[in-house]
Structure 1
């Protein structure tokens, strides 16, 4: 693991929202849950490589904006077809109002 990297400010993500984060030539998605926890997943849908942070976020799921497949962003689990491959997840935390993720 490469250590903790700043993804964005917590206030940059609406509650039940997502934000795209690019680092090291890879795209990630950072989510803010209804209870203000933060989570990080790969940024592209496993079905057709669409930016997952552009999808609808409700409760603990994100819906892919292209084919309406859904993932649990806490675990990366594919919850609704067409995706059948889970998203990879990464540790995320908030310190001093900054969202930090551990990618690598």
Structure 2
């Protein structure tokens, strides 16, 4: 089952920015990296800091609290002190809007 939620109009979602979607079950950070969109859990798996306020470095987000790096593509924890991966979520463009599926998520194998 899918639950697609509107995130932003594509024209209003600038490169290098992030939007956050909160549902009853998840808090998801969606990033626009050069017109490619990535959606991951917004909370760091190490200390639950909000990754949406972290620094972007290529296709990685750096946790603002302790500096752990996560892949925006796979959700993989790339550096200590984080060892637990993040869930990633499907995104799509539909009629000029970016949407995220808050029901379907993938864990890194």
**1:53 aligned counterpart, secondary structure:** helix
Q: Which runs of 5+ in 2 are unaligned?
A: 104-109
TM-score between the two structures when normalised by the length of structure 2: 0.84
Find the counterpart in structure 1 of residue 99 from structure 2.
100
Partner Cα distance (2:62, 2:85) in 1: 13
Residue equivalent to 2:73: 74
Q: Is the 8 A contact 1:16 1:59 kept in 2?
A: no
- SS, match of residue 22 in structure 2: strand
> How many pairs were matched up?
103
In the TM superposition, residue 7 of structure 1 has moved relative to its aligned partner by 1.9
Larger Rg: 2
Preserved CA contact (<8 Å) 1:18 1:57: no
RMSD across aligned C-alpha pairs, in angstroms? 1.6
Greater percentage in strand = 1
Task: Please tell me whether the aligned partners of residues 27 and 44 of structure 1 are also in contact (alpha carbons under 8 angstroms).
Answer: yes
Tell me the TM-score normalised to structure 1 length: 0.87
Q: Offset of 1:11 from its aligned partner?
A: 4.2
Task: State the partner residue of 2:44.
Answer: 45
The 2-side partners of 1:47 and 1:58 are apart by 19
**Structure 1 stretches of 5 or more lacking a match?**
none
1:37 and 1:66, CA in 2 relative to 1: closer, same or farther beyond 3 A?
Answer: same
1:64-98 C-alpha deviation (Å, 9 max, x unpaired): 01001010111101111111111100100122332
Mapped contact 1:2–1:102 kept (Cα < 8 A):
yes
- Report the Cα offset of residue 39 of structure 1: 1.1
